[in-house]
Structure 1
Amino acid sequence: MRIEQPKGVRGSLKWIQRSVAERWPTLEAPILAATGGAALRWRSPLAADSFAEYRDEAVLGLVGALHLAESLHAFWPARGPQWDALATTDTGGIVLVEAKAHVSELLSPGTAAGDASRKRIDETLGALAERLNASPRRADWADHFYQLANRLAFLDFLRRNGAPAWLVLVDFIGDLEMAGPSVPETWDAAYQVAWHVMGLPRRHALTPHILHVRPDVRPHA
């Protein structure tokens, strides 16, 4: 699914569009260092593509993994994660970006899926929690920090199907208009709470493939 977006005028929509278009080194350099690539090709959001964001099978088509479409349909119901940005590296790496400009964006609502889809989501997230050695006393991922959970699930799906994917959590610093964090430590604390509520250990099977990138918007304001 392709979802056109307006040109961002504030918050994470504005900054992810600008940082991609202007190829900020503070965005790209950490990604390349983690993935072992030498160059990134941004697939979205692009001005020439109406800043569209993508989800489901359309994501696979953009990043060269369309052969996994049938497996994805079996893995997750339609209307899965909608990615703020997507990129590929010169070495074939897949970059999945979730961007935020203020801490409250972490507090996503639970899934609104119907009964049949909710059952499959619960089963998928439950199996993922077991693989990641999450605490049995964790909060229900379909209701708490669901956005983080479904991004982890998509990353896990790609990795288990042989696709070299990374989840890049882009947490902008210095967005004063949105009362966003001015130092990286604020984001560190917010994610520590999220992982704790989700019952995730400090390190798990997906940890090496999750990257926190903290571009400072103030030099670009």
Structure 2
Amino acid sequence: MKNQCSGNFVNPTEPIIVQLLSNYLSLNELGERDGIRLFWGPHYIGKAGNNQEIDISLEYDGKVIFGISIKSQFGGGYLENADLTLSLIQENIDTIKRFEYRGSVSDVLQDMARIKNVKESSGEFDSVTILYSKFSKKKWIEKFSKGYSHSYLFLEENQQSFFQVLEEKLPGLCSLKGISDRNNGVRPTLKELEKGRAIKGSRFLLQNYVNNNQGKLNELILMSSPSLLSFIDKELTIEWKSPLKRSGYREYRNEFLDLEDQWKGKGIQLEKYWPKIGPQWDGIAVVKGKNGNFGLLLVEAKAHLKELRSKIQAKDVDSIVLIENTISEVKTSVESNAPIEVWLEQYYQLSNRLTYLYLMNNKMGIPTWLLLVNFVDDVAYIPTTTSEWILHYQDVYTRMDISSSSELFNHIISIYPNGNKNERVGKL
């Protein structure tokens, strides 16, 4: 893991990111664990035999699967002669000051050329550039984020935790975190580490059901919601949009509003009530109503009771005020007299899910149901019985003081699918 560069060539941000990643992935002092290896500095060979530097890279079972470039300050960069043959260079020749061996180029072009060279030599992998500020954001994003399987992470004024944003940019990163030779004695293969594929827990179980056992999942949903049965057309079709294997197990935020033409454009209206970055949904499904309108299922999956406890993480004052005002409106709609601190500091995740359920139905005009998927007997962490789930939700709803007679309550669907070993080991 030791950086092979020295002196002024080492970006001062790099050792910080290296240490953060090492802690996050529980790596040893050599940057290794259970088939995972972290490299810092020049490590790969391009097509012409030149060293190709990716600031930080992560391998699993000898294959690079993530590449991270870091820019804490701006300045000139250099291309090796192997890079000059890339079509990437030809497409952006106007940005190069001197088109010659080791010619000075823009930072981003240098990084993209080297990363693309490694990808062409060793196979495709996800990559991200970490920047401090949004300086020249338009140029960086528009020119070098399309067509290169590459994304950008800006640290300045970020309202989320570093790892939360990094996991969004590199969806499979959390899968690496969960890898262990001690996980039932089996370490997953590289093929099983597809983009976004979870290794265990509620995300893993939901991915299995949606991609392997939709019939059972849909049956549990329909038998648990009279209001959904009343809405849906006679085909009783539930069309799953996420998490799908063919889409890299993508999980949606507010972009789910682009899934149907009827909903497009409502994102701007949503911003009146909630910050631009909405909750990340474990699953999304669409249903067709008898009247031709489309309905929405917003899915939250859990595998153990502790996952229900959470508190607000927003730091921006305007965002906090907006969130508190909207949640207060939701509290009024369900006749809750509980202190708002219970909603914000104890059960915030459920609170913001209920808020989206309210906003979709009451502000956006989209028939929507909140699907709470509570997996029973998941032995990967803490097995939870059906009785334990039911008693826990009874306590949660009592503490939040949600009236059972409220209209919103009729649009909550709770199901308790099997999460034991026989269901858990299904292959995708």
Normalised to the residue count of structure 1, the TM-score between the two structures is 0.91
* Structure 2 counterparts to residues 164-183 of structure 1, below 5 A: 164-181=367-384, 183=385
Q: Which structure is richer in relative contact order (CA contacts within 8 A, separation 6 or more)?
A: 1
Q: Which residue of 2 aligns with 1:93?
A: 295
Pair 1:69 & 2:69 matched = no
Distance 1:170 1:107 in 2: 16
Partner of residue 237, structure 2: 39
- Quickly say closer, same or farther: Cα 1:203–1:153, change in 2 above 3 A: same
SS at match of 1:53: coil
- What count of residue pairs does the alignment treat as equivalent? 219
**Equivalences for residues 40-189 of structure 1 within 5 A:** 40-56=238-254, 58-64=255-261, 65-91=263-289, 92-137=294-339, 139-160=341-362, 161-181=364-384, 183-189=385-391
RMSD: 2.0
Equivalents in 2 of 1:63, 1:152: separation in Å?
22
* SS, match of residue 176 in structure 1: coil
Q: Distance in 2 between matches of 1:140 and 1:109?
A: 9
Per-residue deviation, residues 85-144 of structure 1 (Å, max 9, x unmatched)? 000113322111000011111012323241110001010001110111001446442222
1:196 shift after superposition: 2.0
Q: Is the 8 A contact 1:60 1:68 kept in 2?
A: yes
One-letter code aligned to 1:208: N
Q: Which moved more, 1:199-208 or 1:115-124?
A: 199-208
Distance 2:315 2:208 in 1: 32
- The Cα offsets for residues 23-68 of structure 1, whole Å up to 9 and x where unpaired, read as 3433211323422231111101111211111112x02112552231
How far apart, CA to CA, are the structure 1 residues paired with 2:245 and 2:338? 44
When structure 1 is superposed on structure 2, of 62-71 and 6-15 the one drifting more is 62-71
CA distance in 2, matches of 1:78, 1:180: 36
SS at match of 1:96: strand
**Quick check: which one's helix share is greater?**
1
1:193 aligns with 2:408: no
CA contact (8 A) 1:135 1:199 kept: yes
Q: Secondary structure at the match of 2:392?
A: helix
What does residue 200 of structure 2 align with? 10
What is the match of residue 187 of structure 2?
none
SS of alignment partner, residue 166 of structure 1: strand
With over 3 angstroms needed to count, the CA separation of the structure-2 counterparts of 1:142 and 1:113, relative to structure 1, is farther
Gap regions ≥5 residues in structure 2: 1-164, 173-195
- Percent identity over the alignment is 29
Read off the aligned partner of 1:174 and give its amino acid letter: D
SS state at 1:81 partner: coil
Q: 1:94 and 1:63, CA in 2 relative to 1: closer, same or farther beyond 3 A?
A: farther
Would you say the 8 A contact 1:98–1:169 is kept in 2? Answer: yes
Q: Distance in 2 between matches of 1:214 and 1:32?
A: 13
Q: Distance in 2 between matches of 1:63 and 1:142?
A: 31
Q: Mark the CA change 1:47 to 1:205 in structure 2 (over 3 Å): closer, same or farther.
A: same
Q: Aligned AA for 1:164?
A: P
Gaps of 5+ in 1: none
Task: Check if 1:215 corresponds to 2:404.
Answer: no
Distance in structure 2 (CA, Å) of the matches to 1:201 and 1:163: 22
Kept after mapping to 1: 8 A contact 2:338/2:400: no
3-state SS of paired residue (1:191): helix
